[in-house]
Amino acid sequence: MNYIDGLRQDTAQLPNGMVFNARIKFMERICLALLDKKLPRYHFPQLQLSEDEIKAYMENNIQLDEIEYQAMSAHLEEFDHDLGEFRTYLQTRFGYWATITQDFVEQFPELFPNQVFLELMAGNGYLSKGLRDLGVKSYCTDDLSWAKHDQTGNQRVTEVESLDALAALEKYGTNVDTVLLAWSPDREDIDYRVLQKVRELGVNFLVIGEKYGATNSKEFWDNAKLVDDPRIDELNKYYSRYDLVHDQVYLVK
């Protein structure tokens, strides 16, 4: 929890820094859930400071002398920068890439009832963990190749079968209704090959990622047909977009 302690140290240097305590406590609850191999309960709010928050805070401390005011401004900038590192911390510390929360996963059996899921490249299995906790059948697969480099695959929260994406589709593709792929790497074209295979199977394909951004290959986005669907709109109401990364759920054909 060194990251959370660091945020508290940041606010300790700020006049009336306790005004930021609620934000830090929310982030701490996220970390504690992940430490306990559970999903965070609620989707995340915007965590970095808004322009209005910064303006209001600085106006509330206008009585400081010039030296104190400059120091406060510098410490506030450092705190805001450190808030922006939360995604990186979750990825490196927990292998938590897509922002899978309980309230998000709870929408799946409501919007896609009586379906069997196959999660590809699942990492630590956060999405399948949430589905299985709800009694939803989800095959959870990953070849765990990332486990050599970071915590992705090293802190599994549910049983993950060691299969690469194409082998998993070959084994389970005819037994499932929906294939799930969250945060496929942006420099590998495996996602495009998965797309081709999913099309052959004719099943639903739900992808969590940032279009032409932090996830998935250019070849994938160039060829993916993104389907408008009210169920996806509803899912995205619960999917966290809490920083500069604008990932979301897509239904892909």
For the record, the structure tokens of 118 come out as 């196959």
Is 18 in the same domain as 114?
Answer: no
Question: Does residue 183 fall inside a structural domain?
Answer: yes
Is 122 in the same domain as 244?
Answer: yes
Helix or strand holding residue 132 (H, E): helix 126-133
Of 51, 31, 52, residue with least CA distance to 40: 31
Is 186 in the same domain as 64?
Answer: no
Is 107 in the same domain as 181?
Answer: yes
What is the residue whose two structure tokens read 């966290």? 240
Q: Sort strands 138-140 and 117-120 into parallel, antiparallel or unpaired.
A: parallel
The H-assigned helical ranges of 134-203 are: 165-172, 190-201
Burial 41-58 (b: 16+ CB within 10 A, else e): eebbeebbbeeebeeebe
Count CB atoms within 10 A of the CB of residue 103.
16
Confidence at residue 54, expressed as pLDDT on a 0 to 100 scale: 96
Confidence at residue 149, expressed as pLDDT on a 0 to 100 scale: 58
Question: Does residue 164 fall inside a structural domain?
Answer: yes
Which of the residues in the chain have pLDDT under 50? none
| 8 A C-beta contact, residue 225 and residue 252 | yes
Question: Does residue 95 fall inside a structural domain?
Answer: no
Is 127 in the same domain as 56?
Answer: no
53-93 pLDDT, tens digit each: 999 999 999 999 999 999 999 999 999 999 999 999 999 99
Question: Does residue 66 fall inside a structural domain?
Answer: yes
Is 146 in the same domain as 226?
Answer: yes
Question: Does residue 239 fall inside a structural domain?
Answer: yes
Is 146 in the same domain as 185?
Answer: yes
Is 141 in the same domain as 172?
Answer: yes
Question: Does residue 110 fall inside a structural domain?
Answer: yes
Question: Does residue 231 fall inside a structural domain?
Answer: yes
Residue length of the chain: 253
Give the residue numbers spanning the domain of 6: 2-36+49-83
Is 240 in the same domain as 136?
Answer: yes
Is 174 in the same domain as 230?
Answer: yes
Q: What is the CATH number of the domain that holds 128?
A: 3.40.50.150
Confidence at residue 153, expressed as pLDDT on a 0 to 100 scale: 64
For the record, the structure tokens of 105 come out as 């996963």
Q: How many domains does the chain have?
A: 2
Is 168 in the same domain as 222?
Answer: yes
Is 29 in the same domain as 71?
Answer: yes
Question: Does residue 94 fall inside a structural domain?
Answer: no
Q: Whole-prediction pTM value?
A: 0.93
The percent of residues in the chain predicted with pLDDT above 70, rounded, is 97
